[in-house]
Each structure stands twice: as structure tokens, then as C-alpha cells.
Amino acid sequence: MAGYPDHVLIPFLIWLCSAIAVRILIHRFGAKKDHSKLPPSPPAYPVIGHLHLLSPVTHQAFHKLTTKYGPIIQLYLGSNRCVVVSAPDIAKECLKDNASVFCDRPQPSNAAYMTYDKSDFAMAPYGPYWKFMKRLCMTELLGSKTLDRFGPIREEEVRKLVRLVLQKGLAGEEVNVGAEMIRVTNNNITRMMMGRGWSEDENEAIKIGQMIKEMVQLSAKFNLSDSFWFLKGVDLQQFKKRLELARGNFDAMMEKIMGEREHVRRERKKVGFDAEDHAKNDLLDILLDISEDESSDMKLSRVNIKAFIMNIFGAGTDSSALTVEWAMAELINNPSCMRRARDEIDRVVGNERLVKETDVANLPYLQAIVKETLRLHPTGPLVARRSTHDCVIRGYDIPANTNLFVNLWSIGKDPDHWVEPHVFRPERFMGGKDSKNVEWRGQQFHYMPFGSGTRSCPGASLAMKIIPTCLASLIQCFEWRLSGQEIDCEVTDMEEAGGLTLRKARSLVCVPTLRLPCPPPL
């Protein structure tokens, strides 16, 4: 534990030694033999369990263990019992056949604090409030009609992206693909949620971006106190001040925005309310309407609204941006795939206008690229659930309060379902002997990039509108090369970073060159 100050390290060591002694005494003199049939498990140490077997890239560590011990294994991460699954048929048994058992999520303390003590949608326990929010997401907030209504916003943000990349290309400057995609997705989300995008002030935009990044990263940080019952409430890693500052900054921003909106709503009511104009309002207005509706099935509090908006920022920002970055890295690494994608776009769209969302249905190879990218690089590589009561999976007893991790990263590379699973081959989704007729909604358990079942990602439909169009525009308009190298050079760095989302260890930074005779109308 190098790097921790003595006032943190010494109490922890005392606790650890005491707990080890108690554990050994219980095991030696007082433990009752467990006759249940549990999943196979690697050798564990007292107290820490299997924590020593993990690495910063958790999904890869899980993959290594399930490769050795089988597709379903049991681990103890400190005091927490976990089951890891890496096979599609077992994932189906967990997420579909036993959906009523695995309907809750693990409750890491950092994420719970960020979401106002689970007042949000993503972390909320399964129950009436969660069901209400799920129905609200699927019908009003993220339903197809609402997403279609915000289509012009997404189209405008794609044009902004192309203009920005064009300016940098003409100046010979580098483009950080992931960072620019983060800007696009955050603009889309803020305009959908609150009717406003990033500030035109670059410094303020950077400040907001850093705030959101800090919130997301802190929520995903491994908190040692969560792993040991005897450390509950102890701030060993000194997260408290950072959490308070990050949530405080977000809270101040939201209070300002909500206060301004409430003032506008009061003024609007004074002059009469136009239902037709209301239909054009953003998601914040919809949430405020529901919070003021006395006949609503569930009362939304001010905290619920802020927590839900935090969810949208946290989940919506990464999913689209990371997928486009991984797809561009794969295409630069596979020039023949890039050429085929460009030929398809040139044939269907031409070069006199920018590709649109409505074109995507006529671009099957582009769709295959997105599917293949999500297979190899699922944004959330681990589906996390928590059992609410005992059940049996594949003949093994799974007790209540067990954390379940379904490793989508492993399943996407399962050799029983995918030919040459580590190879980037979009053609596998286009027909042929190893073709996979799959969609992204999680109905087929060998391919479920956004999870499956009751708690699958509600923002998947939004992501699948943003990703193909942004990717197509970057393919259509520009040639791409790494700094100091030739066009179509090989990208050798595909290393993954640790975290709840699947990021590149090093950002994709390229120099774009306009490939069209002239820029399309922007």
C-alpha cells in the first residue's frame, strides 16, 4: 500500500491483522461445514479472498480466471461473494431465466453518494420507483418519438464535428478522436436534457467537461471500504472530499439551471400555456411536469430529477464516444475495411452532401462495422447484478446477496460462437457461413453489447442513433493518419484501460485530410 500516509495505513493494518486472526479462529474452531454445491473457485487468502487475483483491467482478469476454472466461478472480493459468468448459455440462465432474482445492482458507495443515495434510475433498488422510471424512460424520455424529435439536434452536432475536424485538418493539426466525440455526445445530451449545449466560452466548456469526467471516474473508483465489512464508513482512500466537491459542483450547476427553468415556466403560465409549444420542450420540462403532476403514479422529487440527469451524463457520454473511437482505431488498423466503408457511403450518399441518420438503414457494411466494434470492445464490458434471493444456476447454488458479473468482453470472443473471434471482421454480420444475424438489443446472449433483461441500458437506442452517423461522417469526409506516418498506416496500440467502461489506454490521435473534392454543405 505504498503511497498511503501512516495515519491511514496503520489503522488499516491493525484492522486487517485482527480480522485475519478472527477469520482463522472461526475457520479452525467454529465454522460449520457447508454442504451446498457452489461454483468452482480459485484458492483464496483469508480476509482479502481473491482480490490479489485481480488487475486494473478487471474484465481481462476475470477472463483469465474463467478460462482456467470454467465459465462460471465464485470469487470473494474481500467480504463480498461474487459469481463471474463468461458463457452465453449461462448468461441467459442468469439474465433471462432468473431475471426476477438478478434484478438489483451492486451498490458501491462512491456511486451511491454521487446519485444522491440511489435516488436515480440506474442505481435504484428494484421496486415501484424503479419500475416507474423504467416506464418513463421507455415512453417519454428515451422513447422513439422523443428521440426522433431531437433528430435535428444530433444532425447539427454532426455538422459541428465535421467543421471542427476540417479546420484542424486544414491547419495540419492533430485530432483527439475520443475527446471530440465526448464533446459531441455531451452537446447532444445537454441540449436534449436542458435545451442548451456546451458554452461557447471554451474555458467554461472545458470546466464543465472536467466536472463530468471527475463525476464519472469517481463513481467507478474501487473503494476499499466496500470490500470489507469491518471498514464500512472508513475513508481509507480519502474519497470523501473529492466526492463532496464533484457532487457539489454538479448540484450547483443543476440548481442554477432548474431555477432558471422554473422561472420561465411560471412566466409561461401567466400568459397561457400552448400545448403545441410544450411538445417541443426538452427532457427537463418533461421531468418537471411529472414532478408537479398530482395524479402521477410516483412523485418525482427535485433530487430524483438531478440524479436522473446525472445518470444520463454518466452513461450517455461514454457509450457513443468510446465506440466511435474504437471503430476508427480498428478501421485505420484495417485499411481494406475503411475502403469498403467509404465505397459504400460514396455509392449510397455521394459526395455532395453529408451523410444523415436516415442513410444508415441503406449502409449495411457501416452497420456491420458498428456491430463488430461493439463485439470486440463493448462499452460496458461487465454486466453487474445482485441476487435478491437464493437460486440455482447450472446446478450450482447461488445465495442471496451475491454479486453477479457477466463478462461481455469474454462472450464477444467465445470461439464456440465466433470464427476467429479476435479478428476485426465486419463481414461476419453480412452473410456467409460464419454470419451472425444479430441485433444489439440483448435478445441473443452471445451478443448483447448493452446488456440484456430487465436492467439493460435504457439509452442504447440513443447511442445507436449517434454512433453510426458520427462514424460515417468521419469516414466520408476525411483520410486519417497517425502523426508523422503515412495514410493507411497500421495502428498497433489497441491496449485497454481499466475502469467500468472500456477505454483505450492511450487516446486515438490522428491528422485528418479532406478526401472530397470540396467540403459538403455544412
Residue 27 lies in a domain: no
Cα separation, 301 vs 292, whole angstroms: 9
Residue 30 lies in a domain: no
Return the pLDDT at 343. Answer: 97
Q: Is 495 left (phi over 0), alpha (psi -120 to 50) or beta?
A: beta
Residues whose CB is less than 8 angstroms from the CB of residue 326 and which lie 6 or more positions away in sequence, other chains included: 373, 376, 377, 502, 504
β-bridge pairing 509-514 and 72-77: unpaired
Phi, psi at 275, each rounded to 5°: -60, -35
Q: Which residues belong to the annotated binding site?
A: 457
Q: Which domain holds residue 445?
A: 35-514
Instruction: Compare 324 and 205 and report the one with higher pLDDT.
Output: 324
**pLDDT over 90, % of the chain:** 61
Length of the chain: 522
What confidence category does residue 318 fall into, taking pLDDT thresholds of 50, 70 and 90? Answer: confident
Closest alpha carbon to 208 in 219, 192, 196: 196
Return the pLDDT at 5. Answer: 47
Residue 18 lies in a domain: no
Cα separation, 72 vs 74, whole angstroms: 7
What is the mean pLDDT of the segment spanning 261-283?
Answer: 74
What confidence category does residue 435 fall into, taking pLDDT thresholds of 50, 70 and 90? Answer: low
Residue 4 lies in a domain: no
pTM: 0.89
Looking at the predicted structure, is the pLDDT value of residue 273 above 90? no
Residue 191 lies in a domain: yes
Residues whose CB is less than 8 angstroms from the CB of residue 105 and which lie 6 or more positions away in sequence, other chains included: 122, 123, 384, 385, 386, 455
End-to-end CA distance of the chain: 54
Residue 49 lies in a domain: yes
What value does the CA radius of gyration of the chain take, rounded to a whole number of Å? 24
Beta bridge partners of 353: none
β-bridge pairing 80-85 and 403-407: parallel
Total domains in the fold of the chain: 1
Residue 418 lies in a domain: yes
The lowest-confidence range among 109-118, 280-289, 334-343 is 280-289
Beta bridge partners of 45: 49
Residue 17 lies in a domain: no
Residue in the structure block whose three cell numbers are 464519472: 216
Phi, psi at 382, each rounded to 5°: -125, 125
What confidence category does residue 27 fall into, taking pLDDT thresholds of 50, 70 and 90? Answer: very low
Task: Classify residue 117 by burial, with Cβ atoms within 10 Å: 0-12, 13-18, 19+.
Answer: exposed
DSSP 8-state class, residue 26: I
Cα separation, 423 vs 11, whole angstroms: 49
Cα separation, 57 vs 34, whole angstroms: 32
Beta bridge partners of 481: 511
What is the mean pLDDT of the segment spanning 260-274?
Answer: 83
The lowest-confidence range among 13-27, 49-63, 350-364, 425-439 is 13-27
Return the pLDDT at 298. Answer: 87
Return the pLDDT at 432. Answer: 62
CATH of the domain at 209: 1.10.630.10
Return the pLDDT at 291. Answer: 92
Strands (E), 147-186: 175-176
Cα separation, 215 vs 458, whole angstroms: 20
What confidence category does residue 281 fall into, taking pLDDT thresholds of 50, 70 and 90? Answer: confident
What confidence category does residue 15 fall into, taking pLDDT thresholds of 50, 70 and 90? Answer: low
What confidence category does residue 198 fall into, taking pLDDT thresholds of 50, 70 and 90? Answer: low
Question: Helices H, strands E: what count in the chain?
Answer: 17, 9
Return the pLDDT at 490. Answer: 53
What confidence category does residue 319 fall into, taking pLDDT thresholds of 50, 70 and 90? Answer: confident
Q: Which residues belong to the annotated binding site for heme?
A: 457
Looking at the predicted structure, is the pLDDT value of residue 135 above 60? yes
Looking at the predicted structure, is the pLDDT value of residue 2 above 50? no
